[in-house]
Amino acid sequence: MHARTCAKQLDTIYVFAIDSLRTAETARPMAKDPEISHISRGARAGASFGQHRSWSFFLVLLLFCVGCSKVRDSHELLHSLLWMHTSAEYHTLSVMTYQQAGDALDRALLDRRATASLEQTGDFQHLPPAVILDLDETVLDNSPFEARLMAQRTTFNQPMWEQWVQEASAQAVPGVLDFIAAARKKGVTVFFVSNRRAHQESSTRRNLEKLGIPLPTDLDTLLLEGESPFRWPPNKSSRRRYLAERYRILLLIGDDLGDFVDGARDKPEQRIALAGHHDHRWGRSWFLLPNPMYGTWETSLTPPSLTEAQKLSFKLLLLREAQ
């Protein structure tokens, strides 16, 4: 079979698979699934594809592989996306992380000397307690958006991201809903520090409310990049410092090194050294969710001025050097 014909078939398969996911998503609310209804993420255990949606996806991929076995048409996100969509390992890691964070929260509440924020100094022992969470891939599962990028053979771009955010249809990361509910019940204020843009606040609030995470109207707990009057930069340190002046920060939870400390955009070896310098914090007051799809880990691999094709070549070169 010719490569052009195979590519056209794969386009059709991707569209069919994504349509199947959307149909299943609207047709069967996950809360009714007896096997996974106890998980906070509810209807998206094992991520957005879910147990009842995986088979149609795998079937069409199998059919494609049979018809186009001589052509390997893939995408950089394929395996990482499928891992987050379908693997028990990802689901378990996420739930385990939030369960451990819940235990650490109880300990931090008792120890008034404890703080998770490097920006917190001075007399903070009597400040009200709070936790800081990132949003994307920490609270909100955006893997369906990544699937769209795959379907169109493209990489992240602002127009597609804007459309996804406006839809406000991201589901919850496994374990997060239980954690947030428990923290609020204990009198802990939950703040979300995200690099979503300020103009996306209403859509983001709507998405959180759909998941059962209503935000207070008398307190801004959603701190977005560029938000007035502060004009927050992408670096989150200034937002952590702002909150640390007003609350005792018990925990930091995110999927990127930058959710915890400055320096996440340095070279890979410097990032590893930076993370290692704070080994005593991981699993105690800092909790990291797995995200193999994107992040500063990836952007640190290549110079920022390269084209997408050049970035891919650069990454392949790094693999050769590692051999």
Residue among 145, 233, 248 nearest 193 (CA): 233
pLDDT in tens, the chain (323 residues): 444 555 555 555 555 545 555 554 454 444 334 333 333 333 333 333 344 445 455 544 555 554 555 567 888 999 999 999 999 999 999 999 999 999 999 999 999 999 999 999 999 999 999 999 999 999 999 999 999 999 999 999 999 999 999 999 999 999 999 999 999 999 999 999 999 999 999 999 999 999 999 999 999 999 999 999 999 999 999 999 999 999 999 999 999 999 999 999 899 999 999 999 999 999 999 999 999 999 999 999 999 889 989 999 999 998 888 88
Type of residue found at 80: S
In Å, how far from its chain's centre is CA 115? Answer: 24
The CATH architecture of the domain made up of 91-322 is 3-Layer(aba) Sandwich (3.40)
Query: What are the structure tokens assigned to 44, written together?
Result: 């998206």
Residue 6 CA to residue 282 CA, distance in Å, equals 46
Contacts of 99 (CB under 8 A, 6+ apart): 175
229: left (phi over 0), alpha (psi -120 to 50) or beta: alpha
Residue among 3, 291, 53, 15 nearest 153 (CA): 15
Does the predicted model carry a pTM greater than 0.85?
no
Give Dmax over CA atoms of the chain in angstroms: 71
Query: What are the structure tokens assigned to 26, written together?
Result: 């609207």
**Residue reference for tokens 């930076």:** 274
User: How many degrees, rounded to 5, is the angle at CA 221 between CA 112 and CA 124?
Assistant: 20
